[in-house]
């Protein structure tokens, strides 16, 4: 029977925008549909939370966190999130639609993959997770169902709904999210959620791609969890003989039960994968695996579940197999109070690492809600710390230390609380609140209106502090000469002193450049004379490192910056460039040449030309003599006089 016909959302336009055309998949927390954005006329995937969960604020927060986290990643191997919203009882995410299938579909249809195909899928998955880890997030639910393979061959990671801060470690009693076949031991035992849990899950996924089967199997989730805690993931070559040692090493490294032994994040594992690939021959990469020995993928361990954290006990009791629908259902189980510690291990004996977990799971599966009620009523609450008068940063730090989240921050005027400090909280200080709950803050903007202070003659740094302390903001700063206000101090403000403005308004400042100084002309002076004259005028002098050729004599000032006549403030700097003297050029011999020819040669050599004709040379056209003999040197640019007869 096709149950999609009974889905009330099919054909419905959600939020007046998204027309739902078909159901793609159903998960423990949400259903995914193919939909059309009627505004932009594009096909997308719509992930709609089950209405029964929409009333749970923690699930709604997780949905919103997914949208924000994935939007921040912006990676080609991460399924993009376009929009998030609500429509009545429906909470949804609008996401990129990938036409294709999941890795689970591929494994179900084909079983074990060739090593090349497995690595081709794993590498973009690790690239996506690496971007998440370096951005500060952990996926926490990596599995083949969350790896999408497009018809065009693109590989993308989906479902960041369980994403969490990479450095966040949960070590109190509570529940753990994830899918049992891919959970790292530390996730099961104490809820730790660091980048290494994604590394572990990817190691399990690699094992499954290489062998067509999961490394640990069982009839109940508890049996599988027990094996994750107490048994190493076997080498893939034990199930598929002939697989290269390098692939066994990859799986062993990624699935080490001790987190410190694994690659520290997906980027490190990606490097190991590429090194392993480079060590394999084409024949090894393209080896056809035998038919999968165990390709059963449905059952107790495929769905994302919320499972209890491990506690220690002395007894181990395996629960009876549960019906398949009970095993596949998404559940949230809580943890009972700790049992007495286990007896010490015998020297040299391994002993059960965490065999205790099975008894807990069995009890919880049997007791269900009753255990959850006990947990909620005993250890799941704390008190809101005192935050009033604390700065926003201090308040956030205190909430973090208390295991609480900072929620919405609003700002309001207050005559009683200093600008930037907390003036109210919701819930209020001392109130009883659930662990990991959210506290909203109201931060003071200071008084609603403020008088602009008289800052004339106040040093700039002091003036800025004064304005900020009164709830005003230092605005644009301009500088002007002043003979009465010291350099660096305020001449005036805009608005003027005494004017009333709203808190947070900007106040422009005019700052003194000091008494103006008319820069003297020292070009052509000796270096010593020039320095003395400028310093006497109240200016500082800097001598340029490089010297230049110029018409000025060697050692005299060739250039100055700023130039003569410019206005500077007292104490400003004038840079002097010293002359190396003129460039000396050999003078061409033009005696006996025609006047026009002599002009051309001398000017081409860089000289100016003067003529001396006298009375006898008025009608002459030949050079009889020149002021500097040919072959001698003269300053480039100087004048050479030719006598014409």
Query: Residue 556 pLDDT more than 90?
Result: yes
- Domain finish residue from 49, 76, 97: 97
What is the per-residue pLDDT for 368?
A: 37
The total of other beta-carbon atoms located within 10 Å of residue 230's CB is: 17
Assess contact for 79 and 95: CB atoms under 8 A: yes
CATH number for the domain spanning 27: value is: 3.30.200.20
40 & 184 share domain:
no
The predicted model gives 116-138 an average pLDDT of 92
Q: What is the 3-state secondary structure (H, E, C) of 419-452?
A: CCEEEEEECCCCCEEECCCEEEEEEECCCCEEEC
Q: Using the structure block, give the residue that is written with the tokens 């080896």.
A: 287
201 & 324 share domain:
yes
Assess contact for 23 and 6: CB atoms under 8 A: no
Q: Among the listed ranges 300-309, 339-348, 454-463, 469-478, which one has the minimum average pLDDT value?
A: 339-348
Token pair belonging to 231: 């048994």
Q: Among the listed ranges 108-122, 329-343, 532-546, which one has the minimum average pLDDT value?
A: 329-343
Range list of H helices, 519-616: 527-536, 595-604
What is the per-residue pLDDT for 450?
A: 83
What is the per-residue pLDDT for 458?
A: 95
What is the per-residue pLDDT for 353?
A: 42
The total of other beta-carbon atoms located within 10 Å of residue 29's CB is: 22
What is the DSSP track for 231-244?
Answer: SPPPPGGGTSTT--
Q: Where does the pLDDT of residue 119 fall: very low under 50, low under 70, confident under 90, or very high at 90 and above?
A: very high
210 & 234 share domain:
yes
What is the per-residue pLDDT for 314?
A: 30
Contacts of 357 (CB under 8 A, 6+ apart): 188, 189, 222, 225, 226, 229, 308, 310, 311
Q: Where does the pLDDT of residue 51 fall: very low under 50, low under 70, confident under 90, or very high at 90 and above?
A: confident
Token pair belonging to 10: 């099919």
Task: Judge if the upstream peptide bond of residue 427 is cis by omega within 30 degrees of 0.
Answer: yes
The predicted model gives 90-105 an average pLDDT of 90
What is the per-residue pLDDT for 596?
A: 92
Q: Using the structure block, give the residue that is written with the tokens 């989730």.
A: 221
Query: Residue 491 pLDDT more than 80?
Result: yes
Please indicate, yes or no, if residue 434 is contained in any of the structural domains: yes
- How far out from the chain centre does Cα 463 lie? 36
Give the residue from 234, 451, 226, 488 showing the smallest Cα distance to 358: 226
400 & 467 share domain:
no
CATH number for the domain spanning 538: value is: 3.30.10.20
The predicted model gives 551-565 an average pLDDT of 92
259 & 269 share domain:
yes
Query: Residue 330 pLDDT more than 50?
Result: no
Token pair belonging to 274: 């590429």
Give the residue from 300, 381, 367, 301 showing the smallest Cα distance to 336: 367
256 & 137 share domain:
yes
Q: What is the DSSP letter of 594?
A: B
213 & 251 share domain:
yes
Assess contact for 433 and 403: CB atoms under 8 A: no
What is the per-residue pLDDT for 370?
A: 34
490 & 543 share domain:
no
Three-state DSSP at 382 gives strand
The predicted model gives 231-237 an average pLDDT of 93
The total of other beta-carbon atoms located within 10 Å of residue 324's CB is: 12
What Cα–Cα distance (Å) separates residue 527 from each residue in 181, 544, 620? Answer: 84, 12, 48
Please indicate, yes or no, if residue 132 is contained in any of the structural domains: yes
Rounded to the nearest 5°, which phi and psi values hold at 240? -125, 85
Q: Rounded distance, CA 64 to CA 161, Å?
A: 8
Q: Between 616 and 345, name the one with better pLDDT.
A: 616
Query: Residue 593 pLDDT more than 60?
Result: yes
Q: Rounded distance, CA 479 to CA 482, Å?
A: 10
- Domain finish residue from 403, 422, 444: 444
Please indicate, yes or no, if residue 295 is contained in any of the structural domains: no
Mean pLDDT of the chain: 81
Q: Where are the beta strands (DSSP E) in 233-322?
A: 305-308
- Sort strands 473-480 and 506-512 into parallel, antiparallel or unpaired: parallel
Q: Between 299 and 606, name the one with better pLDDT.
A: 606
Query: Residue 23 pLDDT more than 50?
Result: yes
The predicted model gives 577-603 an average pLDDT of 93
What is the per-residue pLDDT for 545?
A: 92
Q: Where does the pLDDT of residue 318 fall: very low under 50, low under 70, confident under 90, or very high at 90 and above?
A: very low
- How far out from the chain centre does Cα 508 lie? 35
What is the per-residue pLDDT for 346?
A: 33
What is the per-residue pLDDT for 373?
A: 28
Q: Which domain holds residue 428?
A: 381-444
What is the per-residue pLDDT for 102?
A: 92
Please indicate, yes or no, if residue 177 is contained in any of the structural domains: yes
Task: Judge if the upstream peptide bond of residue 369 is cis by omega within 30 degrees of 0.
Answer: no
274 & 315 share domain:
yes
The predicted model gives 320-345 an average pLDDT of 35
Query: Residue 225 pLDDT more than 50?
Result: yes
Please indicate, yes or no, if residue 296 is contained in any of the structural domains: no
CA angle at 14 for the pair 12 and 18, rounded to the nearest 5°: 95
- Domain finish residue from 460, 477, 512: 512
Token pair belonging to 252: 């062993």
Q: Where does the pLDDT of residue 291 fall: very low under 50, low under 70, confident under 90, or very high at 90 and above?
A: low
Q: Rounded distance, CA 552 to CA 281, Å?
A: 76
Please indicate, yes or no, if residue 348 is contained in any of the structural domains: no
107 & 183 share domain:
yes
Q: Rounded distance, CA 158 to CA 80, Å?
A: 9
| Active site amino acids | 141
Give the residue from 489, 415, 486, 421 showing the smallest Cα distance to 450: 415
Per-residue pLDDT tens over the stretch 435-483:
788 999 999 887 778 889 999 999 999 999 999 888 888 988 888 999 8
Domain count along the chain: 6
Query: Residue 144 pLDDT more than 90?
Result: yes
Please indicate, yes or no, if residue 231 is contained in any of the structural domains: yes
Contacts of 500 (CB under 8 A, 6+ apart): 449, 450, 451, 452
365 & 475 share domain:
no
Assess contact for 441 and 397: CB atoms under 8 A: no
Per-residue pLDDT tens over the stretch 70-96:
777 778 999 888 888 888 888 898 999
Please indicate, yes or no, if residue 271 is contained in any of the structural domains: yes
Query: Residue 322 pLDDT more than 50?
Result: no
168 class by beta-carbon count within 10 Å (0-12 exposed, 13-18 middle, 19+ buried):
middle
Query: Residue 157 pLDDT more than 60?
Result: yes
What is the per-residue pLDDT for 215?
A: 94
Q: Using the structure block, give the residue that is written with the tokens 């065009």.
A: 152
Query: Residue 307 pLDDT more than 80?
Result: no
285 & 235 share domain:
yes
What is the per-residue pLDDT for 66?
A: 64
Q: Between 25 and 375, name the one with better pLDDT.
A: 25
Per-residue pLDDT tens over the stretch 594-629:
999 999 999 999 999 999 887 766 778 899 999 999
């Amino acid at each position: 029977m096709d149950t999609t016909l009974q889905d009330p959302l099919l054909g419905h336009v959600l939020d007046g925008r998204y027309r739902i055309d078909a159901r793609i998949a159903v998960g423990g927390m949400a259903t995914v549909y193919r939909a059309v954005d009627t505004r932009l006329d594009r096909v997308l995937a719509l992930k709609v939370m089950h209405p029964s969960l929409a009333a749970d604020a923690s699930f709604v927060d997780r949905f919103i966190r997914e949208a924000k986290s994935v939007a921040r990643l912006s990676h080609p191997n991460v399924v993009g999130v376009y929009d998030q919203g609500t429509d009545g009882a429906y909470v949804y995410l609008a996401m990129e639609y990938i036409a294709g299938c999941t890795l689970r579909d591929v494994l179900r249809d084909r079983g074990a993959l060739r090593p090349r195909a497995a690595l081709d899928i794993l590498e973009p998955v690790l690239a996506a997770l690496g971007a998440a880890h370096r951005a500060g997030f952990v996926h926490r639910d990596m599995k083949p169902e969350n790896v999408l393979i497009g018809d065009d061959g693109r590989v993308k990671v989906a479902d960041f709904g369980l994403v969490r801060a990479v450095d966040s470690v949960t070590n109190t009693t509570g529940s753990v999210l994830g899918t049992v076949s891919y959970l790292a031991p530390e996730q099961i035992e104490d809820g730790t959620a660091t980048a290494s849990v994604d590394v572990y899950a990817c190691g399990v996924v690699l094992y499954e791609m290489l062998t067509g089967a999961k490394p640990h199997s069982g009839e109940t989730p508890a049996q599988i969890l027990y094996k994750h805690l107490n048994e190493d993931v076997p080498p893939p070559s034990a199930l598929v003989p002939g697989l290269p040692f390098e692939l066994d090493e990859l799986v062993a490294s990624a699935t080490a039960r001790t987190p410190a032994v694994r690659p520290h994040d997906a980027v490190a594992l990606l490097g190991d994968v590429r090194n392993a690939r480079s060590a394999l021959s084409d024949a090894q990469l393209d080896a056809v695996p035998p038919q999968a020995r165990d390709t059963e993928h449905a059952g107790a361990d495929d769905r994302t579940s919320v499972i209890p954290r491990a506690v220690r006990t002395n007894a181990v009791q395996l629960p009876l197999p549960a019906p398949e629908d009970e095993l596949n259902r998404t559940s949230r189980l809580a943890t009972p109070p700790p049992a007495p510690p286990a007896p010490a291990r015998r020297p040299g004996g391994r002993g059960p690492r965490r065999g205790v977990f099975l008894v807990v799971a069995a009890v919880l599966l049997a007791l269900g809600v009753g255990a959850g009620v006990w947990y909620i009523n005993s250890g799941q609450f704390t008190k809101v710390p005192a935050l009033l008068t604390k700065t926003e940063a201090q308040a956030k730090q205190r909430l973090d230390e208390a295991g609480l989240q900072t929620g919405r921050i609003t700002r309001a005027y207050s005559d009683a609380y200093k600008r930037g400090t907390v003036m109210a909280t919701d819930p209020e200080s001392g109130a009883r609140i659930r662990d990991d709950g959210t506290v909203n803050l109201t931060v003071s903007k200071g008084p609603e209106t403020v008088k602009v202070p008289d800052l004339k003659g106040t040093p700039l740094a002091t003036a800025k502090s004064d304005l900020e302390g009164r709830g005003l903001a230092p605005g644009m700063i301009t500088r002007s000469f002043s003979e009465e206000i010291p350099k660096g101090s305020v001449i005036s403000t805009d608005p003027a002193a005494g004017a009333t403005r709203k808190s947070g308004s900007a106040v422009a400042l005019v700052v003194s450049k000091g008494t103006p100084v008319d820069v003297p002309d020292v070009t052509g002076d000796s270096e010593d004379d020039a320095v003395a004259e400028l310093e006497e005028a109240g200016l500082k002098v800097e001598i340029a490192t490089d010297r230049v050729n110029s018409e000025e004599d060697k050692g005299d000032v060739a250039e100055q910056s700023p130039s003569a006549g410019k206005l500077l403030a007292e104490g400003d700097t004038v840079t002097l460039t010293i002359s190396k003297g003129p460039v000396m050029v050999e003078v061409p011999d033009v005696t006996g040449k025609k006047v026009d020819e002599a002009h051309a040669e001398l000017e081409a050599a860089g000289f100016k030309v003067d003529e001396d004709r006298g009375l006898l040379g008025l009608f002459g056209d030949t050079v009889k003599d020149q002021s500097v003999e040919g072959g001698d040197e003269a300053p480039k640019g100087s004048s050479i006089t030719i006598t014409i007869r």
